[in-house]
Structure 1
Amino acid sequence: MIAPTGTPGPKSSGIIPDVRRLRQSFDVVVPALVGVLVAFTVVATSAFTAAIAVPAALVALASGAALWWRRRKPVLVMAITLVGGLVVQLVAPLTVFPLAALVAIGSLAAARSPRFSLPALVLLLGVISLNFRTTTAEDTQFVMAVAVVVCAVGEAVRNRRVALAQAAQRAVGEEQARIARELHDVIAHGVSVIVVQAAAADDVFDQRPDRAREALRSIDATGRATLEELRKLLGAVRPEKRPGLDRLAELVEPLRAAGLHVDVRLDPVPLPAGVDLSAYRIVQEALTNTLRHAHAGRAEVVVRNDSGVLELEVRDDGRGGVAGFGRGITGMRERAALLGGTVDAGPLPEGGFRVHARLPLAVTA
C-alpha cells in the first residue's frame, strides 16, 4: 500500500514537515516584506515628486516580489533586483541598503558557480557605490562588505553541496571497487578449484571411476559454496527489501537539500512488487536528471491509478532540453517496456520538462 507523501495532511507531524512549512513561509514572507519595506522607504524619502516616486516605489515592490523565484531563476532575479536597486538609489538616495539585491546575490551564489555570482557581485557593488554621493564613506563601505559577506556565505553553501555530492560519488566508487574485488576473489577461487577437479576427474575417469566420482562431488560442493558466497555478497549489496513508492519521501529529501523543491502527490493503491520497484526507479531517474541537467528549481511528482494503469508524471521548470537525458530516458523506457508499459518524455511548450509513464497494474512481480 502506498502512503501519501509530500503534501502534508491533517495528521502530518515531525521535524521534516515542520521545516518544509517554515521554508515555504519564509519564501512568501521575504519577498513581501522586502518589497513593501523598500517601496515604503522610496515614498518616504524620495527627493522627487509623486509622479516619479510612485513608479519608483512600484519598481521596488516588483524587485521584492521577484525574490519569490530566486531559487528557480536566480540569474534573472539578480538582474531584476539590480535594476530595481539602481532605480531606488537614484530616486531615493537615502536608501542605503539594496535589500532585494542583497537577498538575490546570496541565492545566486548558492545556486550557481562564481562565473555567475562574481560578475553579479561587481555590478551590485557598483550600485552600492552610488551611496558615496549621499552618505559617508564608512557607511558605503559597510554596505559593500555586507554584500561581499552575503555572496561568500552563498558560495560556502554551494561548495558544501558540491562537496557532499562528490563525497557520495567517491563512496559509491569505493564501494563498487570493493564489491568488484570480492566478486573477483570469490569467483576466481571457485572456478579455479572446479577447473582443477574437472581435469583430475578426466584423468582418472576410465581407470579409477571412484576417484572421478570424488572429484565430481568436490566440484558440486565447490560450486554450491561459491554460489552461497555470491548470494551473501549480493544480498549485502542489494537487500531483499526493494525500494518502492512508499519510500519517495526518502528519495526527495536529499534533492530538496540540494536546492530542488519537489512536490509529491500519491494515490494510495496496492501495487505488484515489480511495478512498485519500476515506478520508483523511473521517478528516481527522472528527478536525478532534473537535478543534474535541467537547472530546475521546482519539480512535481504525481502518481495516480487510472483504471488499472499506474500513471507517473514528473514535471520540472528547468530548461526543457533533452541534452544529457538520453541514456536515462532510454533506461526508463526499457524498464517500462518489460512491464508492458510506456514512457513519454520531452520539453513542455511553456518551458520545463515532463516525463510521463504508464505501467499496467496487472503484472506479476
Structure 2
Amino acid sequence: MARSSRQPDDSLAQEARGELSPRAARALWWGTAGLVLSVLGTSVLVAGTEHGRRLPVAVALVLSQACALRWQARAPVAVLAANAATGLAVWALLPAVTLTGALLAAQFALCVLSATRPRRVSVRALVAMCLPAPLAFGAGGVAGLAVYLLTVVLAWTAGQWRRAQQARTRAETRRAVVEERARIAREVHDIVAHTLSVMVVQAGAADDVFTERPEQARQALRAIDTGARSALGELRLLLRAFGADTGEEGTGEQRQPGPSLVRLNELADTVRATGMTVHVHREGPTDGLPAAVDLAAYRIVQEAFTNTLRHAAGATELSVRVTAERECVRVMVVDNGRPQQGRSAAAGTGRGLVGMKERARLVGGSLRAGPLPGGGFEVAARLPTEGAS
C-alpha cells in the first residue's frame, strides 16, 4: 500500500526533473514502435515484393528498430546510432523504400534525444542525421531531399520544444517549493516568536514576585501554560494542513479554531497577561473575510504585538484598530514605547517587519511601519478583499 501511494509522487518528481516515468517510457515505446511497424513495415512489405530474397532480412531489421526504441528514453544516443545504421541497411536492401521512411525510427530517437540531452549533443546528432541527405537527393531529387531534411529538422525541433516545456515545469516547481518554504517559515515564526516573547515576559514577572506574591506568580505560570498550549494547537493545525500530522482526530482533544480576526480578543488577552494594556477597536464585520486576508491580518497584528514586547522600551499600552470596509480591511497597531534608534532601523530590515510586508504583498495589499514623531511605533496595513484568494 505504501509503495502504491508513493508512485504518483515519484512520477511527478521525475517529470519535474525532465525524466520519463516508467509508465511514460512504456507509452512512448508502444507509440513509436507501433508507428514504425505500421508505416515502415508496410513500405517494406510493398517494396519487398520485387526482392523476395531480401524481404526477410529487411523485416528483421524493421523489427530490431522497433525493439531498440524500447531504450530510447534511457540511451537515446545509442538507439539513434543503431536505428540510423539499420535504417540505412533497409534502404540499401530495398531502394524502393524512401530514405525518410527507412530512417523513421532514427527520427523518433532524434526527437527523444533532443528533448532529454544537452543541446550540444542534440545538435551533433542533428548534423549526423543530415549527412545521408545526398542519398535522398539521388533517389528522389529535390523533393526527396526537402522531405528528408524537413522531417529531420521537425523531429529535432519537437524535442527542443519539449525540452523548453520541461525547463518551464522545473522552474515553476522550484518557485513553488521556495514560496511554500517561505510560507511555512512565516507561519512558524509568527507562532513561535509571539508565544516565546509572551512566555519570557511572564517568566520574568513570575520570578520577580515568586516569594512575596506567590498567587501572582501562579497566574503568570498559568498564562505561560495557556500560551504554550495555544501555540501547540496552532502548530498541530499547521502540520495537519501540510499532511504531516497523522494522528487520529477526536481522541479526547478538542480541535482549536485556526488563526482569525475572530480570535483577536484572545490574542490581545495573551499580551494583557504580561501587564500591558491593550485596546481593541473594531469597525465593520470581519467574520466573512477571505481566508487569506483574514489570516494575513491576524498574523500582522500578532507580529506587531511581538515586536512591541521584544523591542519597545517602556511600552505600557497597545492600541489595535481593525476597520472592515467594502473593498479592503485596514489594520493599525500603535504602541507608546520610547523612541529608539535601533527600532527605527528595524522598520526596514527586521525579519518580523519584512514578514509582515510580505504577507500584505501576497494578498495584494500594502504595509508601512515606523516610529511616530512623539514616541511609539505604528504598523498600518491595507489588505484588499476583492479578488483575494
Normalised to the residue count of structure 2, the TM-score between the two structures is 0.50
2:102 is the alignment partner of 1:100 = no
Match of 1:171 in 2: 176
Residues 72 and 140 of structure 1, relative CA distance in 2, 3 Å threshold = same
Give the Å deviation of 1:41.
5.8
| Cα deviation code 1:311-347 (max 9, x no counterpart) | xxxxxxxxxxxxxxxxxxxxxxxxxxxxxxxxxxxxx
2:231 is the alignment partner of 1:215 = no
* Deviates further, 182-191 or 26-35: 26-35
**C-alpha separation between the residues in 2 aligned to 1:220 and 1:50?**
92
Match of 2:353 in 1: none
Residues 177 and 115 of structure 1, relative CA distance in 2, 3 Å threshold = same
Match of 2:193 in 1: 188
Give the Å deviation of 1:213.
1.9
Residues 73 and 210 of structure 1, relative CA distance in 2, 3 Å threshold = same
Answer whether contact 1:107 1:154 (CA < 8 A) is retained. yes
Answer whether contact 2:29 2:69 (CA < 8 A) is retained. no
**C-alpha separation between the residues in 1 aligned to 2:38 and 2:80?**
17
2:22 is the alignment partner of 1:26 = no
Match of 1:76 in 2: 78
Residues 230 and 4 of structure 1, relative CA distance in 2, 3 Å threshold = closer
* Deviates further, 157-166 or 98-107: 157-166
2:138 is the alignment partner of 1:133 = yes
Give the Å deviation of 1:171.
1.0
Give the Å deviation of 1:198.
0.6
Match of 1:204 in 2: 209
**1:124 partner amino acid:** M
2:124 is the alignment partner of 1:119 = yes
Identity across matched positions, percent: 35
**C-alpha separation between the residues in 2 aligned to 1:3 and 1:192?**
44
SS of equivalent to 1:238: coil
1:46-57, aligned counterparts within 5 Å? Answer: 55=57
Match of 1:86 in 2: 88
Normalised to the residue count of structure 1, the TM-score between the two structures is 0.53
**C-alpha separation between the residues in 2 aligned to 1:111 and 1:146?**
19
SS of equivalent to 1:135: helix
**1:43 partner amino acid:** G
**C-alpha separation between the residues in 2 aligned to 1:172 and 1:87?**
50
Give the Å deviation of 1:123.
0.9
Give the Å deviation of 1:149.
1.1
| Cα deviation code 1:110-167 (max 9, x no counterpart) | 3333233221111111123322223222431232022111211122223323322332
SS of equivalent to 2:99: coil
Match of 1:155 in 2: 160
Which one has a bigger Cα radius of gyration? Answer: 2
Answer whether contact 1:70 1:77 (CA < 8 A) is retained. yes
| Cα deviation code 1:158-194 (max 9, x no counterpart) | 3323322332232122111210121112111111110
**1:29 partner amino acid:** G
**C-alpha separation between the residues in 1 aligned to 2:34 and 2:202?**
76
SS of equivalent to 1:206: coil
Give the Å deviation of 1:79.
0.6
**C-alpha separation between the residues in 2 aligned to 1:59 and 1:25?**
18
**C-alpha separation between the residues in 1 aligned to 2:80 and 2:29?**
20
Answer whether contact 1:204 1:212 (CA < 8 A) is retained. yes
Match of 2:232 in 1: 227
Match of 2:381 in 1: none
Aligned pairs, how many?
228
**2:211 partner amino acid:** D
**C-alpha separation between the residues in 2 aligned to 1:71 and 1:125?**
22
**C-alpha separation between the residues in 1 aligned to 2:202 and 2:165?**
55
**2:83 partner amino acid:** T
SS of equivalent to 1:207: coil
SS of equivalent to 1:134: helix
SS of equivalent to 1:30: helix
